[in-house]
Chains A and B, each alone.
Chain A
């Protein structure tokens, strides 16, 4: 294709946007509405995902050491735990530290035990994959000098089930939304192209090749996709900034946190923009294909 033809296609695609004013408006609106939904959904899902990760990473196990173990065997145990596959982090806690924790949690009365501390030394262990906690706990339990491994059995399994369900449900919802969006938009674009069926027929009759007919339509689709993504991007960016200003101070110091606007908003903007472009290309490509067989 010659350069001047490409220039002609660009010029033509802009002109037709204006010429088909209402059709353009209809398609752009369809893109806008859908991307707005997708944008809001993606923002919610990514944050829920973040929260789920936060919850998961808070899961840890506690390994109690046998009372009989001396210093050397405790060190050896620590080494062994550290080298266990799937272990991310090991924190050692002395008997005194353990008591301190207990005092913090249950009150000054327990200070009595400072005279003769009945508690055991312990390791706080986190798994690299939180979902593998139970398996890692079992392995560690087999080691000599471990008295007991505690990780909230039953509770964390339920938590993980719930989080996994949430993630999958969100993914399915987003996919369903995307599918609906594609359908909606390709239909709108098809209607605008059906209105121009004669036009395509005439183009073919004067000897236009398929790509010559198709390129201006595809370019037009791209412009419509871009136009349609502007409002959703602005809405999500400003909406999220507002929400972040409101929610972030209230969550400070809590276990769960929401995503910081950077780079999160860049990602969402990128997703919405490229989806707009992709939908535009795909929609016009699919729709014009049907009318090229003249």
Chain B
């Protein structure tokens, strides 16, 4: 599903954020990406949805090489992915429903399909009753649910989450993790999640990839967080 081969990334300011990454993630896997701040975790994640381009190497998402992808083809690869952020990145002036529907309008889906599908995913994340509210009227956990709903509405094969629980209290974080678990188990969606949340990584065991200094220093199935906070 995702494959990186000898990926290097050097920023213009000289920082080397990826120093030869090799990794392979199979369809349906749930992967944590851990590591100290500034270790290249974010770059690793960003390169997967082509926010950053590798300096050299190959990155395959569902068979497409992102390293050689032309700019105007980027939108079509992003449609195969769902992305969830720490700060939710919802459109503040659109309602919950419109925020989720937006991702479908972008791919020019018919409006009755949009209506059915948006209702379906809002039900899945437990926000059907708040469809008409604005993001600002929701709690952090609820906003993150909206952004998860948006990320899965087009049935992507992969959901990439960058610290999805970073802004949430522990209780809410567990709820959000349950949503991700459902998506992974029920829909078979591959999930790649960068996180700092030790409790979550240690309690809900999945494959752990640890990145330090732009290198993968540890890659274990059913791994642990491994860092003291």
Which residues on A are within 8 Å of B, measured CB to CB?
Answer: 1-2, 4-5, 8, 19, 198-199, 201-210, 212, 294
| Partner pick for B75 among A5, A199, A209, CB 8 A cutoff | A209
Q: Across the two chains, which residue of chain A brings its CB closest to B109?
A: A4
Determine the residue in chain B with the shortest Cβ distance to A202: B89
Interface of A is mostly: helix
B49 pairs with A205, CB closer than 8 A: yes
29 contacts between A and B (CB under 8 A): A1-B108, A2-B108, A4-B108, A4-B110, A4-B111, A5-B105, A5-B108, A8-B105, A19-B93, A198-B89, A201-B89, A202-B90, A202-B91, A203-B102, A203-B106, A205-B51, A205-B89, A206-B78, A206-B102, A206-B150, A207-B76, A207-B106, A207-B107, A207-B154, A208-B106, A209-B72, A210-B72, A212-B106, A294-B51
Residue picked from A1, A2, A198, A209, most chain B C-beta under 10 Å: A209
The complex places the Cα of A210 from the Cα of B52 at a distance, in Å, of: 18
Task: Give the A-B pair count, Cβ closer than 8 A.
Answer: 49
B78: nearest chain-A partner, CB-CB: A207
Given the contacts A198-B89, A199-B91, A202-B91, A207 and B79 also touching, CB distance less than 8 Å? yes
A261 CB, nearest partner CB in chain B, Å: 45
A19 nearest in chain B by CB position: B93
Picked from B75, B110, B111, B150, the residue with its CB within 8 Å of the CB of A204 is: B75
Judged by a CB distance under 8 angstroms, whether B122 is at the interface is no
Q: Which residue of A lies closest to B87 (CB)?
A: A198
By a CB distance below 8 angstroms, the chain A residues around B103 are 206-207
A206 and B77 alpha carbons, distance in the complex (Å): 10
Q: How far is the CB of B91 from chain A (nearest CB, A)?
A: 6
7 tightest Cβ-Cβ pairs between the two chains A and B: A207-B78, A207-B79, A206-B103, A208-B106, A207-B75, A209-B75, A5-B108
Task: Check if B83 is an interface residue, CB within 8 A of chain A.
Answer: yes
| From B76, B93, B106, B110, contact of A206 by CB (8 A) | B106
The residues of B that contact A8 with a CB separation of less than 8 Å are 105
Most buried by B among A2, A5, A207: A207
Which residue on B lies nearest to A212, using beta carbons? B106
A205 surroundings in chain B (CB, below 8 A): 49, 51, 78, 83, 89
Chain B nearest CB from A214 CB (Å) reads 13
Q: How far is the CB of B106 from chain A (nearest CB, A)?
A: 4
Task: State the CA gap A202–B94 with chains docked (Å).
Answer: 12
